[in-house]
Amino acid sequence: MTFDEFNFHNDIAKGIRIAGFKEPSPIQEMAIPIIEDGKDMVGQAHTGTGKTAAFGLPILNKLANGEVDRVLILTPTRELATQISDELYHLGRFAGIRTLTIYGGVGYGRQIALIHKGVQVIVATPGRLKDLYKKGKIDVFNPEIVVLDEADEMLDMGFLEDIKEIFEYIPQNRHTLLFSATMPEAIKDLSQSILYNPEYVSVVDENATTNNIIKQRYYIIDENQRDEAIVKLLETEETKKCIIFCRMKREVDRLSEHLLAMGFSVAGLHGDIEQIDRERIIKAYRRAEIKIMVATDIAARGLDIKDISHVFNYHIPFDPQSYVHRIGRTGRAGKSGQAITLVSTEEFRELKRIQKEVGADMEFSTINSESYLNANDYEVIARKIRSVDINSKISHIIEHLEDMGIEDVVKKAISIIINTEASNSSTQIGYDYSSVKNMIDNLDSGKKATRNNNCRKKW
pLDDT of residue 340: 93
pLDDT of residue 179: 93
- pLDDT higher at 207 or 114: 114
For range 335-354, the mean pLDDT = 86
Cβ-contact 133, 108 below 8 angstroms = no
CA distance 129 to 254: 34
pLDDT surpasses 90 at 245: yes
pLDDT of residue 428: 65
Cβ-contact 270, 252 below 8 angstroms = yes
For range 184-202, the mean pLDDT = 91
pLDDT surpasses 90 at 443: no
Ordered DSSP codes for 330-352: SS-TT--EEEEEEEEGGGHHHHH
CA distance 187 to 321: 15
Mean pLDDT score of the chain: 84
Q: How confident is the model at residue 311 (pLDDT cuts 50, 70, 90)?
A: very high
Structure-derived torsion over alpha carbons of residues 230, 232, 233, 238, reported in degrees to the nearest 10: 140
The upper half-sphere exposure of residue 311, i.e. CA atoms within 13 Å in the direction of its Cβ, equals 30
CA distance 439 to 271: 38
Cβ-contact 364, 220 below 8 angstroms = yes
Start-to-end Cα distance in the chain:
59
Q: How confident is the model at residue 149 (pLDDT cuts 50, 70, 90)?
A: very high
pLDDT of residue 209: 45
Strands in 321-429 per DSSP E: 337-344, 362-364
Q: Looking at mean pLDDT, say which of 43-57, 236-250, 287-301, 425-439 comes out highest.
A: 236-250
**Cβ atoms within 10 Å of 274's Cβ, excluding its own:** 9
Domains located in the chain, CATH noted: 3-202 (3.40.50.300), 214-364 (3.40.50.300), 375-425 (no CATH)
For range 342-357, the mean pLDDT = 84
- Quick one: how many helices (H) and strands (E) in the chain? 19, 14
